Structure 1
Amino acid sequence: MLCEHCHQRQAHVHVSQTVNGQTRESHLCETCALDLKEQGSSFSFSVQDFLKGFYEEAMDQEMNLDNAAAKKCSGCGQTYADYKRTGVFGCPVCYKSFRLVIMPLVKRIQGHLQHTGKVPTKIERVYRFEKKKQQLQSALKEAVKRESFEKAAELRDQIVLLEQKILHIKEGAS
């Protein structure tokens, strides 16, 4: 899609503005978007500003701003106010120091707290096999407990087979 302003470059910035209940969308190239911003437009398209907006809203709801602004990181001494201003933590300890503050924000943005990014295929297969192996081991313990030894033998054989597959994948990855 071409930029709606210059009609020359590809549009990569999409701006939605709502004024008096009416929404207007614009599709701009980076150059025109920067020009529009420099002319004093109120929109912002940086990721930092985007996340900062989420963060401020979450903070208003989750905790008293005076207490948060006074809290300091034990590693670098950065305050919440510093983070709010810059949108960047000063050190890895900041994540622990401000955990109660940032976790609701992370959950709101991502929808959950556990990372679900991509994993290399071989590692994903090993993980899946390890998880299946744990399930089979639990079932094996239960079968032995119930004295269902034929079922236990089948489960044991499946576990051995999975261990061989895991070893084969790990050796191939080395």
Structure 2
Amino acid sequence: MKHYPFILFYLFCNVFIYAFHGGFWVYVFCFLAFSAVVVWGSFDIELGYFVNSITHKRTKTKEVALTFDDGLTEFTPKFLDILKENNIKATFFCIGKQIKKYPETFQRIIAEGHTIGNHTLSHSNTTGLLSTSKMVEQIEKCDEVMAKIGNITTNLYRPPFGVTNPNIAKAIKKLTKKASDGM
């Protein structure tokens, strides 16, 4: 995890407070600035503030990575038809509850050679507020649904709404360690 921005920001605040003799408004300013940086880091996944992420990749060939979120839905088969007609592969970040709702579509995605990613079990609006253990549970339960319905595992994960925070980072770290330990 990258802590350099946090450390640099902390040092900047301390120097700023020292330079202005630590008045009340200086502390308020530093608190607000720090809060703004944390919020920005939580909602802009490209920053990699809490979690390293792949948001773009430079290659020598011109190519596009096509991804779908929040599925499956009743429209997914139509997307699959278009992808098949044009011989295009995509990555589908799937929600466990939606996989249960559309198991045949999930199996079709796999059969047609698309890549699968985990997008949590329920894609709750409160995902960014969940504890580390609840986040681990959301990811693991989605993995279980994928394994049961599609006989597939994945190491790809996309957080709902692109929100990251220390709890999500800890959950990913726990699950990565668990996977590397072979459990």
Fold match (TM-score > 0.5): no
> Who wins on radius of gyration, i.e. which is larger?
1
> When the two structures are superposed, what TM-score results if normalisation uses the length of structure 2?
0.22
> When the two structures are superposed, what TM-score results if normalisation uses the length of structure 1?
0.22
